[in-house]
Amino acid sequence: MRTTVGKWFQGGSPWVWLNAGAVAISLVMVVGLLALIAVRGLGHFWPSAIVAADYRVPGQESRQVLGQLADSEAVSGERLRDAGLPLDPSLDMVERSLVKVGNRDVTGSDFAWVVEPWLQDTRYPENAMAVERREWGNFYGYLKAVREADTTVATGDEAWDMFQQRIARALAIHDLIYQIEKHDIGSINARLERLRLKERGLELKGKTTPAVLAGIQAERAALDAEYKVLEQQLGELYVAFNRDSAVAETANGQEVTLSMGKVVRAYRPNAMGLVDKLAFYGDKLWEFVSDDPREANTEGGIFPAIFGTVMMVILMSIIVTPFGVIAAVYLREYAGQGFMTRSIRIAVNNLAGVPSIVYGVFGLGFFVYFLGGQLDQLFFPEALPAPTFGTPGLMWAAITLALLTLPVVIVATEEGLSRIPRSVREGSLALGATKAETLWRVVLPMASPAMMTGLILAVARAAGEVAPLMLVGVVKLAPSLPLDGNYPFLHLDQKFMHLGFHIYDVGFQSPNVEAARPLVYATALLLVIVIAVLNLSAVAIRNSLREKYKTLEV
């Protein structure tokens, strides 16, 4: 028996099983984490039922509770009694629920904890509605009437269909207002600013002449005329936008007037079938990935964060790829393999271990303040003292992350170059090719799988970085996208939003933690999916290129 066990250990089987067990446990933990994030995040968009109940606390007057169940937990009775609740001493464990009651403009809070034993007469009324608003969060109550200006146009059962029609009308007008404010008026403001900078630049150069100034004034007058027309249209749209309203009643019988201009959508989940709920769920998911945030990023979508992340990663890739490949080619193909080269490789490897916040401090000090300040002095003197590139922005964020991920690309490319047999290079040179032609036509194509793998891994790392971006360009809420229809179209000096920072901001800086928590899970899931897709793409691209150039390796 001892001999068998000894041979088993000598053969290395225990270590194989130990490694397999560790891998299995890691996979289970990763899958479990992703499942938790998915359930907590994606479940937020499902139209859960609205519960109504009488909440009877001993020694207090009964009150009505109306809202959607957000969470529940079992707590000790002693904990609740220590908090001052008049709980029966015989109860050791009590179930309590977190209910999203909304109506923050009426009650002052979005959520309320309720103790299950004190809930009486629980019911799910079909006419209970949830109204998503642009301000003050959700409203929960019962629809009573719909008004056009000061005239009541629908009450009772007819009010709901009229309510939906008036919401659709208000949303259409909102889209027109958004188009005028963000695009049309934004374009005019951008052109007016360019005229101002042009006039200021001519003044600094001493080239202002009456003819030139007259031309600038004529352009400004034309733009002012366009602006007045749009301003008049905007005023008329706002009057139409705020024309309609609805009268709703809260659970405690208080009547509230809801302006249609503040309503995003209204629904009755207790009266919805499965098909209606699935359609609503799809609509909410699409809003999450395609709309702008609202309510301090706790409502709406995260499209600006997605766009900013992708734009920054693309710019970072354009910057880091040539520098990383050129550095690796020099170290492997041209530099003498001596002490200096080994020292440079050690330095590159050490750079990969530097904390990312250090890169952020370096980017802020060198790129933003020093280099950006110099660029402003040389190319944008007319805008001073307001900085153009002397302030954090998209370009400096991309360059800082390119510097952060540069070691990954260098090491991966150099490893790929080292695996190419020397005979391949010698064969190319023997056929009459120069060293540069051998490098460009033979060596680099064969090393392209490693280059692409290094690039995509760098992209995957950059997509999740937060600390350096907090210093060099990312903001909580950007007024506009860094890419638009105004010259020069791509605004490298503009600040932007980022998925990683959005998670940090919503999860740890939001004044409404309970409302923000589901969006943290949903955004984290989206970021994990993006990184996973990038890594899978790296494997697919690497395998494809490896198969393509396999004959050269043979």
507 phi, psi to nearest 5 deg: -80, -30
CA distance 281 to 287: 10
For 352-393, where are the alpha helices, taking DSSP H only? 356-362, 373-379
Q: Are strands 299-300 and 255-259 parallel, antiparallel or unpaired?
A: unpaired
Nearest CA to 333 out of 403, 405, 413 is that of 413
- Report d(CA 329, CA 335) in Å as an integer: 9
Pairwise CA distance, residues 347 & 518, whole Å: 42
The pair of structure tokens assigned to 99 is: 């209910």
Distance CA 187, CA 223 (A): 10
pLDDT of residue 162: 93
Can you give the pLDDT at residue 11?
A: 67
Global pTM? 0.87
**394, 496 in Cβ contact below 8 A?**
yes
d(CA 208, CA 223): 21
Q: E strand or H helix at 294, and its extent?
A: strand 293-294
d(CA 97, CA 72): 4
> Of 37, 68, 36, which is closest to residue 51 (Cα–Cα)?
68
The number of C-alpha atoms within 13 Å of 163 and in the hemisphere containing its C-beta is 26
Ranges in the chain, pLDDT < 50: 553-554
- DSSP letter, residue 295: T
Task: Give the tens place of pLDDT for each residue, 66-111.
Answer: 999 888 888 888 888 887 788 878 778 888 888 898 888 888 888 8
User: Distance (Å, rounded) from C-alpha 349 to C-alpha 411?
Assistant: 8
CB 347 within 8 A of CB 406: no
Give the Cα separation of 212 and 199 in Å (integer): 9
DSSP 8-state class, residue 533:
H
Cis bond upstream, residue 304 (ω within 30): no
Contacts of 206 (CB under 8 A, 6+ apart): none
The whole-angstrom separation of Cα 554 and Cα 542 is 18
State the residue for tokens 């354009």: 318
DSSP assignment of 463-524 equals HH--TTHHHHTB-SS-SS-SB-SSTTSB-TTS-B--HHHHHHHHHHS-S-HHHHHHHHHHHH
Closest CA to 401 of 441, 453, 459: 459
Q: How many whole angstroms from its chain centre is CA 47?
A: 23
Of residues 183, 180, 197, 191, the one with CA closest to residue 220: 191
Q: Residues 143, 134: contact at Cβ < 8 Å?
A: no
Starting from the edge strand earliest in sequence, which strands make up the sheet with 111-115, in order?
A: 111-115, 93-100, 63-76, 50-55, 119-123
